[in-house]
Structure 1
Amino acid sequence: MNQQRIAALSLVLACAALVGACGGMPMGPGRPGATASLVPTQAVSPNATVGNVSFTPLDHGVRVAGEVRGLPPNTEHGFHIHEKGDCGDNGNASGGHFNPSGGTHGKYGAAGSHAGELPSLVADASGVARFSVDDHAISLTPGAPNNVIGRALVVHRDRDDFTSQPAGNSGPRIACAVITKS
Structure 2
Amino acid sequence: MKSTILTLGILLLAIPGLVLAQEEGAKEEAHEKELAHEHSAEMVNLPTAAVAVLASTSGSDVKGVIMLKQEDGYVHLTGEVINLEPGEHGFHIHEFGDLTKADGTAAGGHFNPDGHEHGAPGAKSHAGDLGNITADDSGVAKIDTKAEGLKLHIVLGRSIVVHAKADDLKSQPSGDAGPRVGVGVIGIAKPSE
Tell me which interval the TM-score lies in, with the shorter structure as reference length: 0.7 to 0.9
Indicate yes or no: 2:48 matched with 1:32: yes
Q: TM-score, normalised by structure 1?
A: 0.75
What is the SS of the residue equivalent to 2:104? helix
Residue 26 of structure 1: CA displacement? 5.0
Richer in helix (by share):
2
What is the SS of the residue equivalent to 1:118? strand
Indicate yes or no: 2:102 matched with 1:95: no
Measure the CA separation in 1 of the matches of 2:98 and 2:90: 18
Indicate yes or no: 2:171 matched with 1:171: no
Residue 176 of structure 1: CA displacement? 0.3
Question: 2:71 matched to which residue of 1?
Answer: 58
Question: 2:21 matched to which residue of 1?
Answer: none
What is the SS of the residue equivalent to 2:106? helix
Q: Return the index of the structure with the highest Cα Rg.
A: 2
Q: TM-score, normalised by structure 2?
A: 0.71
Question: 2:136 matched to which residue of 1?
Answer: 124
Measure the CA separation in 2 of the matches of 1:175 and 1:55: 17
Residue 72 of structure 1: CA displacement? 1.4
User: Structure 1: where are the runs of 5+ without partners?
Assistant: 1-21, 142-146
Measure the CA separation in 2 of the matches of 1:123 and 1:91: 20
What is the SS of the residue equivalent to 2:131? coil
What is the SS of the residue equivalent to 1:93? helix
Measure the CA separation in 2 of the matches of 1:49 and 1:137: 28
Indicate yes or no: 2:164 matched with 1:157: yes
Which ranges of 4 or more aligned residues in structure 1 deviate by more than 3 Å?
none
Residue 76 of structure 1: CA displacement? 0.9
Q: Percent identity at matched positions?
A: 44
Q: Work out the number of aligned pairs and report it.
A: 146
Deviations 1:91-126 (A, max 9, x none): 1001110001111100122x4111001130100111
